[in-house]
Amino acid sequence: MSATSSSLACLRVALLHALGVTLAPGCTRPPLDDAGTATATATGTSTSTSSTPLNTSTAPGDTTAAPDPTTGSATTATTLVSTATTAADSGTGLVTTTGVEPATTTTGTTTGTSTGDVGGTTGPACVSLMDLGDPLMPADLMEIPGCEDYNASDCYDYMRICVPLPDGLDSCDACAPDCIGPIPELCPDFGFQLACGPFTVDGECCHVIQYSWNCTDGRPFLVEGTARTAAATRRRDWLADAPGPADEFIAVLDPAARAELAALWTADALAEHASVASFARFTLQLLALGATPSLVQDACAAQLDEVVHARLTFALAAAYGGAPVGPGPLALDGALAGPSDLTAIIVAVVREGCVGETLAAAELDLAARTCDDPALAATLRRIAADEQRHAALAWRTVQWALGRGGPALRRAVADALTVRIVAPPPDRLDPAVLRRHGRLPAAERVALAAQCMRSVVIPCARALLDDLAVARPTADLLT
């Protein structure tokens, strides 16, 4: 087992342990302790949650796309609950899936239930959602009559799908609220929902479809679908008093490389600073839902963790940039104006916590392993350990909510786990330089995210949803 697979296996076991899932002997402790070591390996989990980490370059069903040689970017779509792995043959349109939960949509696609690992099967020819319509930007919805008030988000993808006016109807209003109807031949790569419509275009009835989830790096402070951060300003009080990279380690860099690394650490620091606000709002949401004291207490502790993370990364930005840096004021207008019902809150927890913070913990751990400076590596390990606890908090919160919600919440959680991994912008530094200084190159971040989804996120989702399937009659799950 590679070091990366071993680390992800331990991360998986630690999160499953937080959910109370019985584990086989082997990796019996969290993968990220104070020393940052992760030498133990997982020998198995319970029957309903077992998963083998896959090598992202050779494993069948790998959904990682190779970086485009002209842009350096890559995109991959992974349905985390309905399919553990999906291998599509572009020539035949066939897909091979290993499924543990139903793929659900709001448009009447076929729903089924399984209660454990299912062997790979070859389905009939199918079409991709991407082939059914025209892509839209979130701002485009403002120009469509009837869609102006829809809360479009940069974290989602959107598409306009049009169908002929059904026979016997005089207008598209007559087939509202859903003129598209079932799409039984749709490949199981996407969970989606109707965003707005119907509206008429060239005599056809059209809807805007919302699908995927593209914000997967840590817990952002989202307001009306947009990640909000403060602006950087020159100040010293946000610099952590902790050992930083050795001066001679940074001094060998040319000025352009130092400036680029300073900018990357500054962006990370501002995101960590914004996460303080995100956890503050999450604490209020837990109180509004009547959550347990342990969840509320851990959410409060996570806020304090994020303050420390921000100070540590602002100190790194200052070390590379040669000048103190900190956050300016963070705008809070509209921060509490979003939906406050159980489903909306838990869907956000799934995406920002169960997915985002799980990926962040894995990425920081790998960055620490490839870093050449001991003090910098120690900082990354410290943040990674906190992110693992935050991810565990998110999974426990979803587990608590599922015990109180009905089948609709279960379906919403399954749909929320449809995530599209989008590569960050192309690197402007040599990959070897990035690794030495605690930064993973873009292509490696994409590959790690895909592997982490398969070997960590999917088993945790199985644990939650399979447990619910046992607790509730199967018939209830299909209503």
CA distance 272 to 252: 28
123 or 215: which carries more pLDDT confidence? 215
Q: Domain for residue 138, yes or no? A: no
Contact yes or no for 157/135 (Cβ under 8 A) = yes
For residue 209, being part of any structural domain is answered with: no
**pTM greater than the 0.75 cutoff:** no
Residue with token string 């302790």: 33
**Which tens digits make up the pLDDT trace of 43-54?**
333 332 222 222
Tell me what the mean pLDDT of segment 352-366 comes to.
94
- Concatenating the DSSP letter of every residue in 235-287 gives -STTS--S----HHHHHTS-HHHHHHHHHHHHHHHHHHHHHHHHHHHHHHHHH
Q: Which of 109, 73, 82, 123 is nearest to 181 (CA)?
A: 109
358 part of a folded domain: yes
pLDDT for residue 140 is more than 50:
yes
Quick one: pLDDT at residue 182?
Answer: 73
Predicted confidence at residue 143, as pLDDT, reads: 85
Edge-to-edge, what's the strand order for the sheet holding 134-136?
134-136, 157-164, 204-211, 192-201
The rounded distance, in Å, linking the Cα atoms of 245 and 376 is: 5
CB 198 within 8 A of CB 179: yes
* pLDDT tens-digit series, residues 156-207: 678 899 989 888 888 999 998 888 877 656 554 445 678 888 999 988 999 9
Q: What percent of the chain has pLDDT over 90?
A: 46
Alpha helices in 75-222 (DSSP H): none
In a domain, 387, yes or no: yes
The per-residue pLDDT for range 221-255, each reduced to its tens digit, is: 988 778 899 999 999 999 999 999 999 999 999 99
* 86 has pLDDT over 50: no
Residue 235 lies in a domain: yes
Considering only residues 264 and 125, tell me which one the structure prediction assigns the higher pLDDT: 264
More confident residue, 217 or 388: 388
Q: What is the mean pLDDT of residues 424-448?
A: 92
Strands 204-211 and 157-164: antiparallel
Q: Is the pLDDT of residue 421 over 60?
A: yes
Q: 25-39, 84-98, 262-276: which has the minimum mean pLDDT?
A: 84-98
The pLDDT assigned to 430 comes to 96
Q: CATH no. for residue 465? A: 1.10.620
- Asked, for residue 257, whether it belongs to a domain, the answer is yes
> Mean pLDDT across the stretch 121-137?
67
| C-alpha–C-alpha distance, residues 199 and 179, integer Å | 10
Sign, Cα dihedral of 355, 361, 365, 367: positive
Q: Please compute the mean of the pLDDT values over residues 466-473 and round it to a whole number.
A: 43
Q: Residue 207 has what pLDDT?
A: 92
- Mean predicted confidence (pLDDT) in 448-452: 92
User: Does the pLDDT at position 55 exceed 50?
Assistant: no
pLDDT band at 322, cuts 50/70/90? very high
| Average per-residue pLDDT for the chain | 75
Report how far residue 327's alpha carbon sits from residue 229's, in angstroms, rounded to the nearest whole number. Answer: 9
Count structural domains, the chain.
2
In a domain, 450, yes or no: yes
Q: Which domain holds residue 252?
A: 222-473
| pLDDT tops 80 at residue 353 | yes
DSSP string of 377-416?
Answer: HHHHHHHHHHHHHHHHHHHHHHHHHHTTS-HHHHHHHHHH
Query: Does the pLDDT value for residue 216 go beyond 80?
Result: no
**Residue 72: pLDDT above 50?**
no
Position 452 in a domain = yes
**Structure confidence at residue 112 (pLDDT):** 30
Question: What is the DSSP code string of 182-220?
Answer: --TTB-TT--EEEEEEEEEETTEEEEEEEE-----SS--
